[in-house]
Chains A and B, each alone.
Chain A
Amino acid sequence: MLDLVYTPFAEYEFMQRALVGIIAIALGGGPIGVFLMLRRMSLTGDAMAHAILPGAAVGYLMAGLSLPAMTVGGLVAGVVVAVAAGLVSRFTALKEDASLAAFYLLSLALGVTLVSLRGSNVDLLHVLFGTVLALDDNTLLLLASISTLTVLALAVLYRPLVLECVDPIFLRSVSRAGTPTHLIFLGLVVMNLVGGFHALGTLLAVGMMMLPAAASRFWTGDITKMMLASVLIGMVSGVSGLLLSFHVELPAGPAIILSAGAVYGFSLLLGREGGLLWLAWPGKHLEA
């Protein structure tokens, strides 16, 4: 049993690299996912993940499968869509969800078109689903930097971020930190999505944020514990996904997300905080 878990990572370098990469992604994505969820921006994360595609595709058109070009392209596209969608919802009658949907659909179509202009279907698959089993040194460095920066930034922004979720009017009345906090947070989301994009592709990157976060909500009502749980669930899903893909020869990215999905399903059923089982059999009501 231990052999099944230990040997793949001990003997294969690509598995070690994948492990490091996925741990970094879980570390940054976990808390970001929790905040996305609490801010009711789960679908925003999804939309922005799609929005990264055309930027990465332009980078790809210009420089092939190059890490810096696709990273910069993805960051720029993600930020542009986030800001554009924000402006449209602030200044027109369209709400943020509708305006994001419009932008990300366009981005996805544009991105796939751009990649197909030059690349093969293999390249398209690479962009859409990532290459977690082929992470080179630079990519690992990028992933580690992103998660480090994310954790640090969240530590600094923790109070205004929480306040902006709970009571934005109050935050506005005591501080001007609201708007910058929101923008920096969006920046962190884009960064983590771009990081996740290299490992898991545009379509699944957001999975390592939202599934662990959503699962963690079923275990605790405390934000700090929720973030810890989310990171832990991300890491466990990463490891089990990699092992699954190694032993059963599944594609690694989907295997990781499926593992996270399994944890989510388990939490949904059995989670102590509002899991279905506890809702169905809550026990007899209390005295007070």
Chain B
Amino acid sequence: MSHAPSAIRFDEVTLGYGRRPAVHHLDGEIPAGSLMAVVGPNGAGKSTLLKGIVGTLKPLEGHIRLKHPASGIAYLPQAAEIDRSFPLSVYDLVAMGLWSRSGLFGSIGRQDRTRIEQALAAVGLIGFERRPISTLSGGQMQRALFARLLLQDAPVILLDEPFTAIDAKTTADLLAVVRRWHTESRTVVAVLHDLDMVQRIFPQTLLIAREPVAWGLTHEVLSPENLLRARRMVEAHDPHADVCHRSVA
């Protein structure tokens, strides 16, 4: 891989639930400024990997090293667990992205308001400011969440299936935001299922099926042989799995 300093390093990382690994012995690094896709079948451990990076899931073994503190990560979970019935306006939802600067009490000044407006404009939500979040469609909600990510201004951005159940127009608009992040040298890691999109837009790919299958340049990773291997590797849940004795370097 490139010689840029790594934004995220995995040292023989195993992540899982209980004692069962969902990501098994991942070793490698994500260089700063990469635009990387994480692909693999359902149950391959893609979301788990992101949770590990954010720190909501501690590795069962190994270490995940971050160049930036965990607060420098902006994370969009899969089907965000947002209480849509909560009485909150789109503006307030988006403004939450300023948390790292405003914190508990910090006021939102004129500059911040400008930035909120710019973020709303970038995702095409001008005019939606006062709308309660309960009235948004799925695509509009995703736009609002991207605006919040924009405001977080984080060096590392993790997206978990950001375009699932989102129409083409919205996807195109939000992909433009992703490209912009890439030109700003931010590290973007996105879990995706649309391999065409990955090939068009993401230079780097990690193909994972619990075990890492291939990792590197997208066109090399997404070879038919690798995809076939990935499909074979996720086996059924084994109730009699043995203890893993692979040594950690």
**Chain A residues close to B by CB (< 8 Å):** 38, 156-157, 159-160, 162-163, 165-170, 172-175, 177, 220-223, 226
Q: Can you list the 7 inter-chain pairs with the closest CB atoms, starting with the nearest?
A: A174-B99, A221-B87, A166-B86, A173-B75, A167-B82, A169-B77, A166-B83
Q: B124-155 CB contact bits vs A (8 Å, 1 = yes)?
A: 00000000110000000000000010001000
B235 part of interface (Cβ distance < 8 Å): no
Check A177 against B104 for contact (C-beta < 8 Å).
yes
Check A166 against B82 for contact (C-beta < 8 Å).
yes
Tell me, in angstroms, the Cα distance from A220 to B89 when the chains sit together: 13
Check B87 against A175 for contact (C-beta < 8 Å).
no
Check A166 against B71 for contact (C-beta < 8 Å).
no
Q: Choose among B71, B86, B133 the residue that contacts A174 (Cβ–Cβ < 8 A).
A: B71
Please give, as numbers and ranges, the residues of chain B lying within 8 Å of A157 by CB-CB distance.
Answer: 104
Check A221 against B100 for contact (C-beta < 8 Å).
no
Check A173 against B73 for contact (C-beta < 8 Å).
yes
Please give, as numbers and ranges, the residues of chain A lying within 8 Å of B80 by CB-CB distance.
Answer: 167, 169-170
Write the nearest CB–CB distance from B179 to chain A, whole angstroms: 23
Tell me, in angstroms, the Cα distance from A259 to B82 when the chains sit together: 35
Check B81 against A169 for contact (C-beta < 8 Å).
yes
Chosen A-B contacts, 15 in total, with CB atoms closer than 8 Å, are A156-B104, A166-B88, A167-B93, A169-B75, A169-B81, A170-B75, A170-B148, A173-B54, A173-B70, A174-B71, A174-B100, A174-B152, A175-B71, A175-B99, A223-B87
Closest A-chain residue to B82, C-beta based?
A167
Check A38 against B71 for contact (C-beta < 8 Å).
no
Closest B-chain residue to A226, C-beta based?
B87
**Chain B residues close to A by CB (< 8 Å):** 54, 56, 70-71, 73-75, 77, 80-83, 86-88, 93, 96, 99-100, 103-105, 132-133, 148, 152
Please give, as numbers and ranges, the residues of chain B lying within 8 Å of A221 by CB-CB distance.
Answer: 87, 132
Tell me, in angstroms, the Cα distance from A175 to B54 when the chains sit together: 12
Check A167 against B100 for contact (C-beta < 8 Å).
no
Tell me, in angstroms, the Cα distance from A220 to B103 when the chains sit together: 27
Tell me, in angstroms, the Cα distance from A221 to B89 when the chains sit together: 9
Please give, as numbers and ranges, the residues of chain A lying within 8 Å of B104 by CB-CB distance.
Answer: 156-157, 159-160, 177
Q: Choose among A167, A220, A222 the residue that contacts B83 (Cβ–Cβ < 8 A).
A: A167
Tell me, in angstroms, the Cα distance from A222 to B74 when the chains sit together: 28
Closest B-chain residue to A181, C-beta based?
B104
Assuming A38-B86, A173-B73, what are 7 further A-B pairs, CB within 8 angstroms?
A: A162-B88, A163-B96, A165-B83, A167-B80, A173-B54, A173-B70, A175-B71
Tell me, in angstroms, the Cα distance from A214 to B197 when the chains sit together: 47
Closest A-chain residue to B148, C-beta based?
A170
Please give, as numbers and ranges, the residues of chain B lying within 8 Å of A166 by CB-CB distance.
Answer: 82-83, 86, 88, 93, 133
Write the nearest CB–CB distance from A40 to chain B, whole angstroms: 8
Tell me, in angstroms, the Cα distance from A17 to B148 when the chains sit together: 49
Closest B-chain residue to A34, C-beta based?
B87
Please give, as numbers and ranges, the residues of chain A lying within 8 Å of B54 by CB-CB distance.
Answer: 173
Q: Choose among B56, B96, B132, B133 the residue that contacts A172 (Cβ–Cβ < 8 A).
A: B56
Check A165 against B86 for contact (C-beta < 8 Å).
yes
Write the nearest CB–CB distance from A69 to chain B, whole angstroms: 36
Write the nearest CB–CB distance from B134 to chain A, whole angstroms: 8
Tell me, in angstroms, the Cα distance from A177 to B96 when the chains sit together: 14
Closest A-chain residue to B106, C-beta based?
A159
Tell me, in angstroms, the Cα distance from A38 to B134 when the chains sit together: 14
Write the nearest CB–CB distance from B128 to chain A, whole angstroms: 14
Please give, as numbers and ranges, the residues of chain A lying within 8 Å of B148 by CB-CB distance.
Answer: 170
Closest B-chain residue to A175, C-beta based?
B99
Tell me, in angstroms, the Cα distance from A216 to B31 when the chains sit together: 52
